[in-house]
Amino acid sequence: MTTASSSNPAAPAFDRLLLTGAAGGLGRVLRPRLKRLCRVLRASDIAAMEPAGEGEEVVVAPLEDAAAVHALVAGVQAIVHLGGVSVEGPFEPILQANIVGVHNLYEAARKHGARRIVFASSNHVTGFYRQDEVVRPSDPMRPDGHYGLSKAFGENLSRFYFDRYGLETVCLRIGSSFPEPKDRRMLATWLSYDDLERLVVASLMAPVVGHSVVYGLSDNTTRWWDNTSAAHIGFRAQDSSEPFRAAAEARQPRIDLADPAAVFQGGGFVTKGPYEN
């Protein structure tokens, strides 16, 4: 996996690193930040991307196209997988991109010898826990919609590929990664862009991760998730939503406890649908 040596300590950790979902919100944040880890960063999406810069390759590859994904994965040592549908919605598009697509990615990684995947899972895998509960990664999944179901599938698939084939994965149950929290819910779920980078880099660089599940949140005062079991990857959040509390509370001065979005950790996702064919 690593190409660094004692004679060249500044060598990048990876020859080629793949970033899927590079045109998405978090993909655009991580693309320039991951280049220092590799000789070549291969960026992929189906949406428009910035042209390849120095040390980059840009590849358009639909995740549901197995042949395209196999070509995409060839020659990479590790993968940061952000690709797919990132919001709640009808099942069929989520099935193709997030379920068929993640199977294609793992099968390609197995065949081409990639050794580690950082899989962007989601807090919506456990969205039907209440906001007055603290959840551990080992607690049963309680997905809050089609999107959460697809991420639960991805976590189980990655567990299978580790148990059967030794392909390591860190599943990141990402909370809400934006420049600042937008509402009271995000005071608990917020993950700063800098902490997102720290989390992904730790997931790539930890010597041994096996199959790990980690919640992606900053060092927030309000917490719904217990990451104690993930200390082995070496991630330590350095930011907090607390400086934004007054503004978030002013924007949302009262909470309607009859609203399921205010009761369950998944927020508005818990009430979306059903969807007509």
The CA-based angle 32-30-269, given to 5 degrees, is: 155
Please state which architecture CATH assigns to domain 14-271. 3-Layer(aba) Sandwich (3.40)
Nearest to 25 by CA among 141, 120, 91: 120
Mean pLDDT of the chain: 95
pLDDT at 219 > cutoff 70: yes
**pLDDT reading at 127 higher than 90:** yes
Tens of pLDDT, residue by residue over 223-245, are 999 999 989 999 999 999 999 99
Kindly tell me if the per-residue pLDDT of 18 is higher than 70.
Answer: yes
**Exposure string (b/e) for 203-229, b if CB count within 10 Å is 16 or more?**
bbbbeebebbbbbbbbebebbbbebee
Indicate if the pLDDT at residue 213 is higher than 80: yes
AA letter at 215: Y
Catalytic residue among 106, 147, 161, 215: 147
Please check the confidence at residue 1 and state whether its pLDDT lies above 80: no
Q: How far apart are CA 9 and CA 55, in angstroms?
A: 19
For residue 276, what pLDDT is reported?
73
Is pLDDT at 3 greater than 50 in this prediction? no
| 147 part of the active site | yes
Candidate from 126-130, 156-160, 231-235, 255-259 with smallest mean pLDDT: 255-259
Mean pLDDT of all residues in 175-179:
98
Residue matched to tokens 């880890």: 37
Indicate the burial class of 73 (C-beta count within 10 angstroms; 0-12, 13-18, 19 or more).
buried
- Note the pLDDT of residue 6: 36
